[in-house]
A and B are shown apart, each in its own frame.
Chain A
Amino acid sequence: MNLTKREALLSDLTPEIGKTSKSWYIVFGILLLVFVLGIYALVQQIDKGHIVTGMRDNVVWGVYIVNFIFFMGLSYAGALVSGTLHLFKTPWRAPVIRLAELITVISLAIGPFFIFFCVGRLERIPYILAFPRIQSPIVWDVIAILTDVFGAAIFLYVSFIEDFAILRDAENLQIAPWKKKMYRILSLGYQGTPKQKRILSFSRNVMAAMIIAIAIIVYSVLAWIFGVTLQPGWHSTIFGPYFVIAAVFSGVGLLIILMAIFRKIYNLEKYITLKHFVNLGIVLFVIAAFFGYFTFSDYLTKWYGSVKMDKILIDKLFTEFRTYFIFANYIGILTPIIIIAIPRLRTINNITIASIIALVALWVNRYIIIVPTLETPFIPIQDTRHEWLFYSPTWVEWSITAAGVAVCGMLFMIISKLAPIVSISELEEAAEKNNT
């Protein structure tokens, strides 16, 4: 092993492990503030009841469920992307695979909380484990998510072991003794012997394959929560694969955005290059095409031979929700496709902007899957109270949503202080391959 090279890698990739910059504290402080505001909103909600949200008897699920699906989708996408990159030994994966793995775990740590916020009696959540009924798709989902939590955690951990060993052995790194100790414990005595290498590589392959399967199953189960009901717009056989594709779409989008962010603030221009953006951009392109195809297919069949309820729903989508619909299902899908399809437009900035649009559009796509359906029940809503007819999220819901995003950011920031955000071992491996 080329030691000087490793030193260089370490100092490049772990700028935040040894010291903490001022801007880190500022950004973290802002996020913490958003988080605290979210906690305040949550206290309000627990104190006064769900009446403080925009949800009412018809639209019983709102932004919380949208966030839940969204974050879980990001998580599964992270798993799918990192698993696939690893399993197929994609040559350019080294600098991006760790980010994808982190997306998996961090979104997974946030997503389920939004379900808790949506539940009327928070203290009874353990009942799901105490009195589970296996017929219920929610129980399927709980089982699936728990499996996924363990799977994703193990997958992430085995991919970290080599890096922990590197950090443990790094003499020149100025870090606190407790961190050194932590790395020693976490590296499990890994010395890089051939046997250890073989075992680790085998574990990573197995976990990568499993995490792909788990991600597909788990996100399908989530889609079936909606698919198994009779509600117009939800009762669709396409929902399982549609959700999986949508998840990957958002996940790749977030991965590109994170790449752009970390590249900028950690000066990783040497490692994360245009090539990575273009390669992931092409993945985004393919997924966007699939996603557009699924969306078109779903709405076409509803619209063309529409039964009464589908017609009411489609009418609603094309009038009240027109702006959302156009943004989510036209702009959100076509922008990444156009930007990637035309080589001249393939710059890092453009691809990042396309990813941001795709990510936001997908959130809106989730919103117009959940809310309009609940606003069009089979038996028409006859009520004069506006909030009973139409859903509009309140500040409480927005604050809690913002808090979720803030926590996501904070977790990324904390992890960037504890472990390299780009996998050193993967980079070394890639460098060795290039040399031979």
Chain B
Amino acid sequence: MHMEKKAKDSSSRRKFIRRFGISLGTVAVAGPAAIAGDTSETESGEMVRLLSPDGTLVEVDRSSIKKAKAKTREQIKQSYKGIPDRKFVMVIDLAKCKNARKCVDACQEGHMLPKDHEWIKIQLLQDSELASKYWFPKPCYHCDSPLCVSVCPVGATYKREDGIVLVDNKRCIGCKFCMTACPYSARVFNWKDPEVDVPADHVYDPELNVPPVEGTVGKCVFCADKLRNNELPRCVKACPMGVIYFGDVNEDAVTNGVETLRFSSLMVDKHGYRHMEELGTMPTVYYLPPVDRMYPVEIGFDGLDESITDRYTTKDFKKSGKTKK
């Protein structure tokens, strides 16, 4: 379970890993086993090398190493500020998407979501009658001018310095104003108790936003917890087609885990655009148009559960027809 793994990560680690690696390599500092080692009263004489938060290499006795708390108060506070000097951006290449839905699954698993909660949805869109349909993955756009943040009466949803919009489900009162304000239907509501089991030592952090709480709003968090650990969001990693690129505007680079591209030239060369630019919300998610596509749109229906294919095919779903099929 990723939760336990997360708990083992030392607190100091994420502080000195400032660079969001395009290489994506995780820097092993000290094995999790060493950090999680049991404490004993007497000195063992065995010295362990560790990196301190300021970046110097230090040696400490194994016996004095204590397991770090899953989250400190200071770290939770950081989740309200964001990761310094970052401005995250996502690019979704619509020419590659074939509705494999691996992103949806990875997201739901990672965030312990019930099956009817999709923080990333895949829509089947058609811009004009003459044009072909195309698959359209839709996470939260983490807008630079987010209406959801403006309308929240208690500051439960907030925009961070690194551009990520998060929801603090310990603050959220469930008024759902953000859901009506969001023009992209990015948010979901916990209409009932989600009934998820979290590890006993799990500490709530809006960056992961687990567990979901009844009567509050949830949405895509750009996997802010993964970003802290210098990893790509779950959907990016899970996508078998490399549809989703993620990166940093400041570094002018985005990657889908396989190839790393210059963000600015990608926008110019492939004509990057933002969905419904005219609404003025300034999303940080860009799309590359569905041209020269790798797969015909029908492939998206292959091997899917009927309950999922239905949502794209059932066109005439009249209000009166309560039971379909």
Residues on A lying within 8 angstroms of B by beta carbon are 48-51, 55-58, 60-61, 115, 118-121, 124-125, 127-128, 130-133, 135-139, 142, 225, 228-231, 320, 374, 377-386, 389-390
B153, B191, B215: the one within 8 Å of A139 (CB): B153
Contacts of B216 in A (CB 8 A): 120-121
Contact A384 B319 (CB under 8 A): no
Interface secondary structure of A, over-half rule: loop
Contact B174 A121 (CB under 8 A): yes
B171 to A: closest C-beta gap in Å: 7
With contacts A120-B189, A136-B151 known, what are 4 further pairs, Cβ within 8 A? A120-B176, A131-B171, A384-B314, A386-B317
Bound-complex Cα distance A124 to B279 (A): 32
B152, B180, B319: the one within 8 Å of A60 (CB): B180
Contacts of B171 in A (CB 8 A): 124, 127, 131
Contacts of A135 in B (CB 8 A): 150-151
Contacts of A229 in B (CB 8 A): 147, 151, 180-181
Bound-complex Cα distance A101 to B75 (A): 54
Contacts of B181 in A (CB 8 A): 228-230
Contact A374 B180 (CB under 8 A): yes
Contact B189 A378 (CB under 8 A): no
Question: Of B22-30, B83-91, B304-312, which binds chain A?
Answer: B304-312
Contact B180 A128 (CB under 8 A): no
Contact B189 A50 (CB under 8 A): yes
Contact B151 A60 (CB under 8 A): no
B34: CB under 8 A from chain A?
Answer: no
Contact A382 B189 (CB under 8 A): no
Contact B123 A380 (CB under 8 A): yes
B229: CB under 8 A from chain A?
Answer: no
Closest to A226 in B: B180
Contacts of B312 in A (CB 8 A): 382
B324: CB under 8 A from chain A?
Answer: yes
Contact B189 A133 (CB under 8 A): no
Bound-complex Cα distance A57 to B192 (A): 12
Closest to A319 in B: B319
- B90-130 contact mask (Cβ, 8 Å, vs A): 1 or 0: 00000000000000000000000000100001011100000
Contact B177 A230 (CB under 8 A): no
Contact A225 B177 (CB under 8 A): yes
Residue among B155, B188, B191 facing the most chain A CB atoms (10 A cut-off): B191
B321 to A: closest C-beta gap in Å: 8
B244: CB under 8 A from chain A?
Answer: no
Closest to A137 in B: B151
Closest to A380 in B: B123
Contact B153 A51 (CB under 8 A): no
B290 to A: closest C-beta gap in Å: 15
- B176-216 contact mask (Cβ, 8 Å, vs A): 1 or 0: 11011101110111111100000000000000000001111
- B274-305 contact mask (Cβ, 8 Å, vs A): 1 or 0: 00100101000000000000000000000000
B204 to A: closest C-beta gap in Å: 15
B233 to A: closest C-beta gap in Å: 21
A127 to B: closest C-beta gap in Å: 4
Contacts of A49 in B (CB 8 A): 190-193, 214-215
Contacts of A132 in B (CB 8 A): 153-154
Contact A136 B152 (CB under 8 A): yes
Contacts of B317 in A (CB 8 A): 384, 386, 389
Contact B173 A119 (CB under 8 A): yes
15 contacts between A and B (CB under 8 A): A57-B187, A120-B190, A121-B174, A124-B173, A132-B153, A136-B153, A228-B181, A229-B181, A230-B181, A231-B183, A378-B183, A382-B123, A383-B311, A386-B324, A390-B319
- Given A120-B215, A384-B317, is A60 in contact with B184 using a C-beta cutoff of 8 Å? no
Closest to B276 in A: A378
A225, A230, A382: the one within 8 Å of B124 (CB): A382
Contacts of A385 in B (CB 8 A): 116
B175: CB under 8 A from chain A?
Answer: yes
Bound-complex Cα distance A124 to B156 (A): 11
Residue among A60, A225, A377 facing the most chain B CB atoms (10 A cut-off): A60
B2: CB under 8 A from chain A?
Answer: no
Contact B185 A377 (CB under 8 A): yes
Contacts of A230 in B (CB 8 A): 147, 181, 183, 279, 281
B322: CB under 8 A from chain A?
Answer: yes
B172: CB under 8 A from chain A?
Answer: yes
Contact B150 A377 (CB under 8 A): no
Interface pairs A-B: 4 shortest CB-CB: A120-B174, A120-B215, A49-B192, A138-B153
Residue among B116, B173, B314 facing the most chain A CB atoms (10 A cut-off): B173
Bound-complex Cα distance A231 to B156 (A): 22
Bound-complex Cα distance A121 to B176 (A): 11
Residue among A115, A118, A382 facing the most chain B CB atoms (10 A cut-off): A382
Contacts of A382 in B (CB 8 A): 121, 123-124, 311-312
Bound-complex Cα distance A189 to B107 (A): 70
A57, A138, A228: the one within 8 Å of B189 (CB): A57
Contacts of A115 in B (CB 8 A): 175
Which B residues between 141 and 176 are near A, CB-CB below 8 angstroms? Answer: 147, 150-156, 171-176
Closest to B314 in A: A384
Contact B123 A379 (CB under 8 A): yes
Bound-complex Cα distance A132 to B276 (A): 31
Contacts of A118 in B (CB 8 A): 175-176
Contacts of A384 in B (CB 8 A): 307, 310-311, 314, 317, 324
B194 to A: closest C-beta gap in Å: 10
Closest to A140 in B: B153
Contact A136 B150 (CB under 8 A): yes
Contact A138 B215 (CB under 8 A): no
B190 to A: closest C-beta gap in Å: 7
- Given A120-B215, A380-B123, A382-B123, is A131 in contact with B183 using a C-beta cutoff of 8 Å? no
Contacts of A61 in B (CB 8 A): 176, 180
B261 to A: closest C-beta gap in Å: 27
Residue among B121, B151, B171 facing the most chain A CB atoms (10 A cut-off): B151
Contact B185 A119 (CB under 8 A): no
A436 to B: closest C-beta gap in Å: 55
Bound-complex Cα distance A50 to B193 (A): 10
A226 to B: closest C-beta gap in Å: 8
Contacts of A379 in B (CB 8 A): 123, 125, 138, 184-185
- Given A50-B192, A51-B191, is A119 in contact with B175 using a C-beta cutoff of 8 Å? yes
Contacts of A320 in B (CB 8 A): 319
B153, B184, B191: the one within 8 Å of A50 (CB): B191
Closest to B281 in A: A230
Contacts of A374 in B (CB 8 A): 180
A9 to B: closest C-beta gap in Å: 48
Closest to B138 in A: A379
Contact A133 B155 (CB under 8 A): yes
Contact B123 A127 (CB under 8 A): no
Contact B184 A378 (CB under 8 A): yes
Contacts of B125 in A (CB 8 A): 379-380
